[in-house]
Structure 1
Amino acid sequence: MNEPSPRRSGGAAEEWAGEGRGAEPGRWYTTNLVGLPVGLLGSPAFNAHPQPITIAGVRETHRGLFRLLDTAGDLPAASAVFRHFMEIVFGLAPPEPGTRSNPRGRHRSSYLKLLQGWGLDSNSAAGAVLKGWAESRFGLVPTFHKAPLGRFPSPAWITYIEEKGSSRFHNNCIHQQLDLLYEYCQWAIARFGQPARDFITLWRGVNDFSEQRVIAGDRRDRACVLRLNNVVSFSTSRDRADEFGDWILEARVPTVKILFFPGLLPGSALAGEGEVLVIGGEYEVVARYA
């Protein structure tokens, strides 16, 4: 795509707002903690031929957790081990009956509360924190938070930046909690083959395409490439996805890009919704108007 000429742009400010490089932050943001080029990680080619992904240093720092997980015979037992570990390390356990709770403890950020916040509204402050985590760990820039994130700087970008850094969520190593959630999810997939070993077909219902950008093809021709948000919700059920929009997006997702799936943490937020949280990027999808 050609960048606008100086005559048409009217200066640097308008060039950011145009169709040039400034309008596509994903083209210039490249750092991550997984040791793969962002351009590859976010591409359809990676989704077709995925490689293992690990966040640098997480498993090495928490070897004890993964040794304990290896003793679990099934996913519910592994979930109990993981929850107990997180409660101890991050002080997430509820107060004992009859004891006074620590006033500070009520405000400790928690990966479980973050998942709950995402389930209520992915464009909430909790959603911004999740998107900010994916941005810092995988190098994938979000495409939408309350509004399309195109031109930078813009009011939409400022809102996202303020919310992703909110002290409400960053008082208890929330990024490290999410690192462990991702690594635990990947361990569970490798150990138990749930929800699938390598790839899984998922569905997403949308009413418009403001939260995802058409990169190639045409949604009216069904097959197209979309740039999805850097964290995005899918459903394991096409019928359930149909409840969320008139357009149904069908994607073949590599399991290395899954952050959360039904059954990973029984009884937690999202557990009964059939919702799968996926690391985004560009995906080949089949778009159908329901």
Structure 2
Amino acid sequence: MSRTGRILAIGALTLLAIVFVYPFVWLVSASFKPRGEVFDNRLIPQTFTFENYVQVWQEAPLALWLGNTVLVTALAATAVTLSSAMVAWAFAFYRFRGRGALFALVLGSMMLPGAVTMIPTFLIWNALGAVNTLTPMWAHNLFGSAFYIFLLRQFMLSLPRDLFDAARVDGANPWQVFWRIALPLSRPALAVTAVFEVQAVWTDLMRALIYLRDSATFTVPRGLKALVDNFGFGGEWHWEILITASVITTIPMIVLFFVGQRHIIEGVAAGGLKG
């Protein structure tokens, strides 16, 4: 690429970066403004105040909501990563009759809209007495995810089969081959799966609206919805509270991106090169 082309490419990327970053910068700036100046569109607040951050902790149990979300996210990401890896390993390594049909059935489940299974799933959790608890927010991941199974299977198919056969000749049982050899070699794909699921669970409002009714069990998305209900109606919108709460609950995802971006890039690159 010529020098002019590089300059144009850098300029275009810089412009796109500004477009994507600007909303969050505006959000952070507005969180330090009093109510009357929230929408003055200044990136540098005319009246700088920390009162919003003090008040939001007083008005809402953010620490509890964040704790619930961290717990649910950790359990959900761990459950779906391990369960999907087990199923993917079975489809990638073992040869058995009907394997192709079963895998096609797994992929076909991705075609079902969530609304189709929403009511039957709710009835199951309700019969188990799990409604208004955190269990339905993560336990469904114990059965894997069709998308992650596909992603991990494609990666595992690229692993050298001779390595696994040699391990079995040396006396390793199937579980040892999977746990000690296949999983460590699949670490890039596992990292991508975990990061994707963390982001999905952290922002999951629909399931929280269905199953969580007590504020003590609220996750971050459900808590923000409660704040909108409490501070957004009744004649006066407390935008400074809503914006500040949004900033606080968004920061963990930003930290996750900066911590996990190397693993995401490695996982996607490895899958692209090997798959």
TM-score by length of 1: 0.26
Structure that is richer in strand per residue: 1
Structure that is richer in helix per residue: 2
More contact order relative to length (CA 8 Å, sep ≥ 6): 2
TM-score by length of 2: 0.27
Which structure: larger Rg? Answer: 2
